[in-house]
Amino acid sequence: MNQYTQEHTHSYYAASAHGLAPFPTLTEDLVADVCVIGGGFTGVNTAIELAQRGLSVILLEARRIGWGASGRNGGQLIRGIGHDVSGFARYVGAEGVRYMERAGGESVELVGRRIRENNIDCDLRWGFCELANTPAQYAGLKAEHAQLIESGYAHETRLVEPGQISQQVVNSDLYAGGLIDMGSGHLHPLNLVLGEAQLAQSLGVRIFEQSPVLELVHGSTVQVRCAAGTVRAGSLVLGCNAHLEELEPKLSGKVLPAGSYIIATEPLSPELAAQLIPHNLALCDQKVGLDYYRLSADRRLLFGGACHYSGRDPRDIAAYMRPQMLKVFPQLAAVRIDYQWGGKIGITANRFPQVGRLGQHPNVYYAQGYSGHGLNVTHWCAKLLGEAIHAGHSQGFDVFSAVPHMTFPGGRALRSPLLALGMLWYRMREVLG
Ligand SMILES: Cc1cc2nc3c(=O)[nH]c(=O)nc-3n(C[C@H](O)[C@H](O)[C@H](O)COP(=O)(O)OP(=O)(O)OC[C@H]3O[C@@H](n4cnc5c(N)ncnc54)[C@H](O)[C@@H]3O)c2cc1C
């Protein structure tokens, strides 16, 4: 199975997607205020934000809308942006850090609003539990809970003691406690991005699929060249994340692509599903190469994790992931796996998303590098890009773009082995305690 064909990968999501009717391929020379490259959450939502502000937008996608991580991910819509943003105070000040923390919650509300106001049918369910693998991690969750309460977080949150986990959250004896957050949840990501593409189209965005951008010619007007047509635009947005590659090497050098994998079981009986995850929460643990899992609307267990850092995908994803699933749920030994797929996460050195414009070409904007936590963050970054391109200024854009980002040494050939080495180090620390 080649998961990197021009069509959607053979996932549970593609098999249960609504309205996969294709958009046309670019075959003419067009002009727009803004050209957006990439048809994932970043690109589609930036197009929406720009069109809502009255700008004309053309979106170019190399394969299909949602073909990348946006249509393949775990579907976990989880509060927060980045990892311990207090460390960025020296770049953005205390007020900037508070902005980032607020955005962590508001970005989830933004996704919820987009779904609600536009009736996007994507199986949204509220409720998430972050699981501790060790007592030390549970102590960390207690501190996180106290912070949430102190910050006035608007949603129900609750700590779950180790002895209560299997009754209240997940029927597994692996965990040392958990933190439930009813302001986070889970959804069908491909149906979300497809619904958003329809919204973009209804706002006047011209969308083209199977239209890989081959070359950019920079200037006060940017020329964007595909095989059979071009777009000339005053501004350009790069929303290609881990798939940017050689189109803009200076940017792709700041992101390490890492593989993450998901299996989907056959539909479980209502009794078994309720026994495994009694309140249908999204679940995620805290191991390196974490396990993330949840039930689909038709009661399949979607079990993801096991980041692959070598740059090579496992030949048989189900054979690779099934033992991980059975560690959590040995009771599923006889259950069939119906789907298996993988996708590319864009990891950054500081785990904060990269938002900004190219120094030498200020009319070229980008957002990328969500480090495996992009569902809410892509939507927030799209809003920042929309504000900045429309008004020439955005407080949030200024805060996010003030965080500096490292270019990984070694170019494309060395980046993945480097990541493999780095993760081996973290895994050793985990094992050695
Ligand atoms: C397996 C997996 C599980 C994940 N689970 C979660 C989760 O549960 N919760 C969460 O918050 N995040 C999760 N993530 C991360 C999240 O999916 C991403 O952060 C997010 O989808 C990134 O969106 P994007 O639009 O920036 O990139 P993508 O969705 O990858 O889209 C980039 C698009 O750009 C296109 N493109 C690239 N080059 C060109 C070109 N030259 N011309 C035209 N188009 C081009 C690609 O074809 C692609 O469609 C997961 C990621 C993976 C891979």
Tell how far the Cα of 285 is from the centroid of ligand 1, in angstroms: 22
Q: Is 179 helix (H, G, I), strand (E, B) or coil?
A: strand
- Residue 411: the pLDDT is 61
- CA pair distance 291, 268, nearest whole angstrom: 20
Contacts of 295 (CB under 8 A, 6+ apart): 268, 273, 276, 277, 280, 301, 302
Mean pLDDT of 166-179: 96
| Ligand 1 binding pocket includes 304 (Cβ within 6 Å) | yes
Query: pLDDT by residue (tens digit) across 378-404?
Result: 999 999 999 999 999 899 999 999 999
240 ligand 1 Cβ < 6 A? yes
pLDDT, mean over the chain = 93
Question: Would you state the structure tokens that stand for residue 296, as one six-digit string?
Answer: 């689909």
Q: Which helix (H) or strand (E) holds 307?
A: strand 301-308
Instruction: For residue 171, report the distance from its CA to the centre of ligand 1, in Å.
Output: 31
Which residues neighbour 382 within 8 Å (Cβ) at sequence distance 6 or greater?
41, 42, 44, 45, 46, 48, 49, 239, 367
**pLDDT for residue 405:** 92
Q: What is the pLDDT of residue 312?
A: 78
Q: What's the pLDDT score for residue 417? A: 59
**Closest atom of ligand 1 relative to the 374 alpha carbon:** 19
Model confidence at 374, pLDDT cuts 50, 70, 90, reads: very high
State the pLDDT confidence band at 414, using cuts at 50, 70 and 90: low
Distance 174 CA to ligand 1 centre (A): 30
Q: Residue 68 Cα, ligand 1 centroid: separation in angstroms?
A: 4
Residue 311: pLDDT band (50, 70, 90) is: low
Q: Which ranges of 135-277 would DSSP assign to H, the alpha helix?
A: 135-150, 165-168, 189-202, 249-252, 270-276
**Nearest CA to 70 among 193, 165, 183, 154?**
193
User: How many angstroms separate the first and last alpha carbons of the chain?
Assistant: 38
The pLDDT of residue 389 is 98
User: ∠ CA(40), CA(43), CA(49), 5° rounding?
Assistant: 130
Pair of tokens at residue 212: 């890989």
Cite the beta strand spans of 66-106 per DSSP E: 76-77
Q: Hey, which of 67, 243, 245, 355 would you mutate to test ligand 1's pocket, going by the most ligand atoms within 8 Å of its Cβ?
A: 243
Q: In Å, what is the CA distance from 26 to each residue of 61, 195, 261?
A: 10, 21, 32
List pLDDT tens digits, range 107-153.
Answer: 999 999 999 999 999 999 999 999 999 999 999 999 999 999 999 99
Say how far apart CA 380 and CA 382 lie, in whole Å: 5
Query: 374 alpha carbon to ligand 1 midpoint, in Å?
Result: 8
Q: Is the separation of the CB atoms in 403 and 66 below 8 Å?
A: no
Q: Would the CB of 375 count as within 6 Å of ligand 1?
A: yes
Closest C-alpha residue for ligand 1 atom 35: 38
Which pLDDT score, from 0 to 100, does residue 319 have? 95
Among 123-127, 230-234, 343-347, whose mean pLDDT is lowest? Answer: 343-347
- Using a 6 Å cutoff on CB, does residue 262 contact ligand 1? yes
| Ligand 1 binding pocket includes 258 (Cβ within 6 Å) | no
Please report which confidence band the pLDDT of residue 21 belongs to, taking 50, 70 and 90 as the band edges: confident
pLDDT (average), residues 310-323: 88
pLDDT at 421: 57
Judge whether residue 423 has pLDDT over 80: no
Distance of CA 267 to the CA centre of its chain: 25
Q: How far is the CA of 257 from the centre of ligand 1 (A)?
A: 11
**Distance of CA 339 from the midpoint of ligand 1 (Å):** 19
Closest CA to 269 of 357, 342, 332: 332
User: Residue 432: pLDDT above 70?
Assistant: no
Mean pLDDT over 190-202 rounds to 98
Whole-model pTM over 0.85: yes
Using a 10 angstrom Cβ sphere, with 0-12 exposed, 13-18 middle and 19 or more buried, the burial of residue 73 is buried
- Comparing CA positions, the residue from 309, 211, 296 lying closest to residue 257 is 309
Tell me the chain's radius of gyration from C-alpha atoms: 21
Tell me, in angstroms, the distance from the centre of ligand 1 to residue 221's CA. Answer: 27
Specify the DSSP class assigned to residue 221: S
Residue 53, classed as helix, strand or coil, is coil
Q: Which residues contact 44 (CB under 8 A, 6 or more apart)?
A: 59, 65, 70, 193, 196, 197, 200, 382
Q: What is the pLDDT of residues 33-77, one digit of tens each?
A: 999 999 999 999 999 999 999 999 999 999 999 999 999 999 999
Please tell me the distance from the alpha carbon of residue 45 to that of residue 228, in angstroms, as a whole number.
25
- Look at residue 418 and tell me whether its pLDDT is greater than 90: no
pLDDT more than 90, % of the chain: 87
Residue among 240, 339, 371, 379 to mutate when testing ligand 1 (max atoms within 8 A of CB): 240
pLDDT-based confidence at residue 422 (cuts at 50, 70, 90) = low
Task: Decide whether any atom of ligand 1 lies within 6 Å of the 37 Cβ.
Answer: yes
- Note the pLDDT of residue 1: 34
Average pLDDT over residues 236-242: 97
Confidence band of 83 (pLDDT split at 50, 70, 90): confident
Residues 291 and 375: beta-carbon distance below 8 Å: no
67 lines ligand 1 (CB under 6 A): yes
Provide the β-strand partners of residue 283.
129, 293
Centre of ligand 1 to C-alpha 188, Å, is 14
Q: Judge if the beta carbon of residue 372 lies within 6 A of ligand 1.
A: yes
Q: Provide the pLDDT confidence category of residue 420 given band limits of 50, 70 and 90.
A: low
Percent of the chain whose pLDDT exceeds 70: 92
